[in-house]
Structure 1
Amino acid sequence: MMQTVADLCALIQEHLASPAARGAGVEVTSDLRLLDSGLLDSMSVMSLVVEIEQRSGIRIPEEEIVAANFRTPAHLWELVTSLHARTV
């Protein structure tokens, strides 16, 4: 279960280290520019969404899967925490 932005960063780090990803060796911090740097593309965003949903127990609505929410791990964490708050 993800409880902090650091947990989310670790998940993204794991995701970027997969053979199909472009980010092997990149240190993921809360302010890392995920989209601008090219670390995430549309396919990797969708894969990351599935992982986040599985690990956090929330569902990310399709309308929330927009560039603004995936700009940095901090932006994504804001989305995750707001969605989690809605389900509690």
Structure 2
Amino acid sequence: MTDAAEIERRLERLAELGRSLLLRVTGGVSPYRGLAGFEERHADWFFGRERLRAVVVDRILSEGAGVPQLLVGASGSGKSCLLRAGRGAARSPG
């Protein structure tokens, strides 16, 4: 396959198939939030931070809900997402 137009058509077809598969798998909703933050309703898509979530939940449970806690990190590091979606995921079964 050396024809540039044919290569372009095949690449476009692959891209269409990828978009189609993504929509079928996620029920028409993309799991990629981009720059938007995660909320509790996105807990099913908030993964990869299980250890950090466990540390935060354990700290809250061991200290009690009435004791103020601080979560410190760089701007944009996911603190709010962890507290919103991570907390929801911690309450979810499994």
Give TM-score scaled by structure 1 length: 0.28
* Higher Cα radius of gyration: 2
Give TM-score scaled by structure 2 length: 0.26
